Structure 1
Amino acid sequence: MTARIRFGLLSFAHFHANFWADAINGSDKAELVGIWDDDVTRGQAAASKYGTQFVPDLAALLDQCDAVGITSETAKHVALVEAAAARGVNILLEKPMARNLAECRRIVEIVRQSGVTFMQNFPKRYDPINHELIRLVRDGVLGEISLVRVRHGNAHLMELGAAAAANWFGQREQAGGGALLDEGIHAADLLLWLLGEPEKVSAFVSNATLGLSLEDTALAIFSYPSGALAEIATGGTLLAAEGSIEVFGTHGVAVLSGVDMASRFFARPPYLKIFRRNMGRNEWEGIDLTPNFQHGHFHHGGPLHFIEVLRGEAQPVLSLEDGWKPVAMIEAAYRASETGQAQPVTFSLDPDGK
């Protein structure tokens, strides 16, 4: 497929749809052919803003598209994936893949049966500074990894306060979970990329700060076959921060800053720095890279990469498996929080966990 990709956006419920529309409009390899939304007023406003048509009939828009981006409420992901796949339309899906593993299983079945090109969106995968962090680990620069700490969050819930409960992401039925699923899923994806599959998890969630029905703050600790431990700290109540990711190894340490909203406006260069064991105790070695977050393009990478994939110019960096495995980690963390006991993390779509 070498012609311009006819791209549609399904729902502006998720704010990231605005970044996707910007990215598509800014590409000479694609065109935004239309927007569908079950909220007509919201959809019409988005279409006017981004200079395209609002199509109230979902099937009618799908018939005009080579690809769609799904940025709806998480509860509607399965139905919209099914509608697009039934018409042979390729799919870019906003995170998380679904509210739970049962819904992930259905999405995987739909995509495999249809044969459409599918890509799960996790924007950390498109940022060169994250690739450099991964290289440091995989090339053994830091030695054997003993501990990873990932904080990924923002102050969005804090800014909304009680009003968050009226939004879809403040409702369990629509979102599937609170900060752990919404923001912590980014960290889960990074940990899978960095360390592979964990074995067990212990976790705590809290809604004490804002009193919502969903958690506004969460902490999960994963253990790995190597003996390494990894922590996800997340929340919608993080007013300011600096270091986002810390990786501790036997030969050195890497610290990455400015790669989430909590730290975006507070981190300063060098954003990625490493300490090597043979360096002085007060020395850091800075890496000359700037996170996409600092450029304001963090959420643009997904649609731009997907367009290149559909044109045969790139291989997808994320797959169906990359979509559901982070959900498996978060679902296990919720079980650990509910039971007060460490839980196994089972990477299987089999209903029996086999």
Structure 2
Amino acid sequence: MINESALLESKTLRNSVLDRTDVLDRVKALSLLPDGMHVTTAMVAAYFSVTVEAIRALVHDHRAELETNGYRVLAGTELSDFKQLSGIQSRTGSLALFPRRAVLNVAMLLRDSEVARQVRVYLLDMEYLARTQPVDNSVHTDVVSLDDRIDQRITHILGKTVVPMFNALIASSSEHRRELISLRQDIENVEQRLCWHHRRLSALEGDAPTDSVRASLSSMTWQALERHVADLLRRDGCTDVVVRQARSDRGIDVTGRTADGRTLAVQCKNRAGRATVPSADMQKFAGAARAVDRVNVALFVATCNFSVEAQAIADLSGVITVDRDELEAWSAGARLKVLR
């Protein structure tokens, strides 16, 4: 197996494992800001048990790489909007934010941190972890329901056994590497969706606080929604992501490239209080994305459902629709199939 120190030296190797942000919580719980997406410099330092100055020095040396993975500094109106949305208090004129992908990037660059070293070991020595952390087969007899126990066992097996097995196969296989990576992503997606559905059911049954992702989406302005979608795209490996934030007639709010280089255009609709996205909006976006810009991937993201007519136009024109439920799942960690 590759030694964990190789991640410190090889950017290519780092890029190959940046989608495994779930590793962060498996090594140590990562506390997030109320938006459920970001952490501050101080929070990154606390996670890795180092000083804030150490994180700032690392950002200074590797800023371009970190920015590719979502690191950014807010100021002015953008900072005011974010503070209002997240409810945080900050008297400084700027605020540095790290999404989970950038935090994982820090773990692969930070030398003097035992937590960072453990993250690197987990990423590259999955076979070892699978042997030393076997699946717990004990039967719990506490007040947890049967369905809860099943959910917990499935997610535990997926995370601790199946995914490490795929990592070991990927590391030793060249002929079927692409197929194995695709299968691993499917397994991870199932694991993430199970966790998300469990949280939603718990919230509906009154067993958990209101879902933070849903609350965050409900409070977003259209500008915040576009930035949120851009962050999700970066988290899932997209590059050259640009938020236009202009009310143009062409209806394209975010552009970029998928991890495999396909061109991407996104329309974001914040339709609070509206039942569905009408067909006129879909027709306008489909024309811009397909006839004018001719992008490879056209994505229409909405905080509501799509009308039957709008969905029909999307199907005919090849536009991928993401409705409220799918947006919540995406925000909670599931990956969109079209971006894999």
TM-score scaled by length of structure 2: 0.28
Name whichever structure is richer in strand by fraction.
1
